[in-house]
Amino acid sequence: MTTVKEILAQMSNSTPEDTALIEKAYAFGLKAHEGHTRYSGEPYFIHPTAVAKYLAEFGMDAPTIAAALLHDAIEDAKATPEEVEKEFGKEVLFLVEGVTKLGKHKYQGGERHAESLRRLLVATSADVRVLIIKLADRYHNMTTIEHVPEHKRRRIAIETLEIYAPIADRLGIGRLKRELEDLSFPVVDPDAYQHAVEVSKLKSKETEQGLLRVQKDLRHALVRKKIQDFSTSIRTKGLWSLHQKLKRKNDDITQIHDIAALRVIVPTVDDCYSVLGIIHSLWKPLPGEFKDYIAFPKPNGYQSLHTTVLTADAGIVEMQVRTQEMHARAQFGIASHMSYKQLGKAAPKGAFQRLSFPWIRDLVPTLLNFRKAAVPAPASVPHKQKPGSDIPRWLTELADAHAAVAGTQDFVDGLKSDFFSHRVFVFTPTGDVIDLPVQSTPADFAYAIHSDLGNHMNGAKVNGKLVSFDTALRNGDVVEILTRESAHPTAKWLEYAKTSMAKRHIRNALEQFAPKAPVVEEKPAKKKRASKKRLK
């Protein structure tokens, strides 16, 4: 079992308070999971400690690591939320409960799927650390998947490939993306996995010696050109990623040039371009294959120079040039932006939350696209949903709203004009999500679902309790509208409604049901309030 020392050893710059928090969480988790075992028969606490160590490697802050140690203590073990809050405070409890909630929602067909995506968005829009813990949790569970009962393995692996790996990619956590993919791949499609393994082996054998010679030549050239402290390495392509590329190239191995690539890491951006010049003077670049991701970073923040050159020793070789900082970001993504190492002790309270907003807005199109990534479905596992029915409407609308604001936001300062900061997500009793502007009320909710529902609204419940029609809804509320056939809107409802759609429906209904009513107004609601004041 990972010891508390091993976890602490991964944390640089930790304060005595950080250390005390981790030690306390470790002791608490150990006790809470006493007698509790994994599928493998090993002590359960092996799992939370492994997740905590992994997050410490990523440079996550102490509350995140403490929450990782406690992340299954409420759901699976004996701890209560009250205890966790009393011992560790609100912040840690929030993170633990965020992960717990996600875990309860198993992926099953389109609806459950939409459900789990929605939960993910709601929890993460409050604090992205919830999702990072969840990703690390999934990573460790995938490393021990052989102990999971066979009938569950495939579902977990597909979910990992379809949801968690794309999210890790979107977060720029390249290392985690690749690990999640390559752990899931053999479970999801063993034959294709074997094929990819063989192709990869064959190709590496062919080019290994040649690549080593190319690497040596390059190192000598860099030294001659006085490039200071560089490092080079040969990286091989992930197997899932290779599989995707093989499919795109109709299984033509000769079309794939990046199974092994040569990577150069240098101190500065200037050095990157110098190294590129040296590479191009040694070997001829293939036209159209050069990509400057330094000047034009990928949407997930990835930066590097990529070029593909023709060498005598190893044939066509891809080269990647980047700084140490870019390399760290390529591996750890958002975690490297968010770590206590970067934010420092002076990081304002809530810094993490602020960082999460622009990011999650960007995530939405990724979630929309992941369905397009074809995961082979053997005949034994029938597809439960109709094609096209798997993308919930609300998510499409979110993506549209995203498109409208994309590119206008600064990474950290964008919060105020951010889409998510102006929306609340509330649920119908059956679990559908309705997203509404902040300050929306049950009246807005009812009309957002259907004008009939709004027009016959007789009462409203929020989280099972009767509320007045002007109650402001909050993220995560479950809202139920009670109807009566004889109920109709009154002019008062125009004050309850905040959305223009609801107001429009109410005005229409007022005309229809009481055409002579003196309160019917053509003017927008603002004017109405003003005129009311005058009456007083």
Q: Is 463 left (phi over 0), alpha (psi -120 to 50) or beta?
A: left
**Smallest distance, Å, CB 71 to Mn ion?**
6
DSSP string covering 402-445: HHHHTTS--TTGGGGG-TGGGEEEEE-TTS-EEEEETT--HHHH
Closest among 92, 50, 102 to 70, alpha carbons compared = 92
Catalytic residue among 76, 289, 325, 432: 76
**Smallest distance, Å, CB 116 to Mn ion?**
16
**Smallest distance, Å, CB 40 to Mn ion?**
14
Catalytic residue among 75, 87, 313, 325: 75
Taking each helix axis from N to C end, the angle separating 129-143 and 62-70, rounded to the nearest 10 degrees, works out to 50
**Smallest distance, Å, CB 134 to Mn ion?**
9
**Smallest distance, Å, CB 137 to Mn ion?**
4
Contact 93, 84 (CB under 8 A): yes
Secondary structure class of 479 (helix, strand, coil): strand
> Given the complex with Mn ion, which of 133 and 399 has the nearer CB atom?
133
Work out whether 181 is an interface residue with Mn ion (CB under 5 A).
Answer: no
| Window contacting Mn ion (CB under 5 A); options: 131-139, 189-197, 221-229, 500-508 | 131-139
| Window contacting Mn ion (CB under 5 A); options: 129-137, 305-313, 346-354, 484-492 | 129-137
Strands 315-323 and 260-266: parallel
> Given the complex with Mn ion, which of 148 and 497 has the nearer CB atom?
148
75 is catalytic: yes
Encoding tokens for residue 238?
């992930």
Work out whether 97 is an interface residue with Mn ion (CB under 5 A).
Answer: no
> Given the complex with Mn ion, which of 45 and 420 has the nearer CB atom?
45
236 phi, psi to nearest 5 deg: -100, 150
How many other CB atoms sit within 10 Å of the CB of residue 138? 25
Residue in 29, 49, 59, 72 binding Mn ion, rule: CB under 5 A: 72
Q: From CA 248, how far away is CA 340, in angstroms rounded?
A: 40
**Smallest distance, Å, CB 187 to Mn ion?**
18
| Cα torsion through 170, 373, 187, 43, rounded to 10 | 30
List, in order, residues 6 or more apart from 284 with CB less than 8 Å away: 309, 310
| Window contacting Mn ion (CB under 5 A); options: 71-79, 167-175, 183-191, 388-396 | 71-79
Work out whether 137 is an interface residue with Mn ion (CB under 5 A).
Answer: yes
| Window contacting Mn ion (CB under 5 A); options: 67-75, 242-250, 392-400, 508-516 | 67-75
Size of the site for Mn ion (CB under 5 A): 2
The helix (H) or strand (E) run that includes residue 277 is helix 269-282
> Given the complex with Mn ion, which of 129 and 203 has the nearer CB atom?
129
Encoding tokens for residue 227?
């490039």
Q: From CA 269, how far away is CA 305, in angstroms rounded?
A: 10
Q: Which residue's Cβ lies closest to Mn ion?
A: 137
| Window contacting Mn ion (CB under 5 A); options: 130-138, 156-164, 317-325, 439-447 | 130-138
Tell me which residues are annotated as active site: 75-76
Binding positions for Mn ion, rule: CB under 5 A? 72, 137
